[in-house]
């Protein structure tokens, strides 16, 4: 096959259909568990959580990443863009995953051990680590570029 750029594209791996089947079977098994153990899993609550997760991604995370990529990242030199874009995407995903516990969804006053950790602090620490890693990679790329120019 030839792509729009004129380059030849490798043929898709035929075994992917086997993996699709395994993935579909795993999804069906999980849905079966939700329906069969309805008293424990509370399917309505699960559906609300699932839909809110999808909406959180589509309404909140994706537009924020798009705006940051469009406005902020375009002003960066091209050699650093991919690093900062990766930092934005990872930060958004980590925040989206951590948001339910940071906001205390599911916390009950009669079960103090249910959400016992300082989740906001931990989220901020992880985000700081993500951006520290981005900063280290940017500095590394800059050093490599300056060495290449000197040679």
Q: How far is 71 from 65, CA to CA, in rounded Å?
A: 10
Task: Please say if the pLDDT value at position 1 is more than 60.
Answer: no
Determine which helix (DSSP H) or strand (DSSP E) holds 53, and give its type and residue range: helix 43-55
SS3 string, 70-129, reads HHHHHHCCHHHHHHHHHHHHHHHHHHHHHHHHHCCCCCCCCCCCCCCCCHHHHHHHHHHH
Task: Please say if the pLDDT value at position 80 is more than 70.
Answer: yes
Helix (DSSP H) and strand (DSSP E) numbers for the chain? 6, 0
Which residues, listed in sequence order, are joined to residue 8 by a DSSP beta bridge?
2
CB-based contacts of 13, cutoff 8 Å, min separation 6: none
Determine which helix (DSSP H) or strand (DSSP E) holds 139, and give its type and residue range: helix 119-150
Residue 10, φ and ψ in degrees, nearest 5: -65, 150
Three-state DSSP class for 8?
strand
> What confidence tens digit (pLDDT) does each residue in 113-138 have?
888 889 999 999 999 999 999 999 99
Mean residue pLDDT across the chain: 85
pTM exceeds cut of 0.85: no
């Amino acid at each position: 096959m030839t792509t729009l750029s004129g380059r030849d594209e490798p043929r898709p791996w035929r075994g992917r259909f086997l993996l699709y089947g395994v993935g579909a079977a795993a999804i069906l098994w999980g849905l079966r568990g939700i329906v069969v153990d309805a008293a424990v899993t509370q399917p309505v609550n699960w559906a609300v959580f699932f839909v809110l997760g999808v909406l959180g991604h589509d309404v909140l995370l994706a537009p924020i990443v798009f705006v940051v990529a469009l406005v902020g990242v375009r002003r960066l030199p091209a050699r650093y863009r991919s690093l900062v874009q990766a930092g934005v995407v990872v930060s958004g995903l980590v925040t989206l995953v951590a948001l339910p516990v940071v906001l205390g969804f599911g916390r009950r006053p009669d079960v103090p051990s249910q959400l016992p950790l300082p989740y906001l602090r931990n989220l901020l620490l992880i985000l700081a680590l993500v951006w520290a890693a981005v900063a280290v990679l940017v500095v590394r790329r800059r050093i490599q570029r300056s060495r290449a120019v000197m040679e």
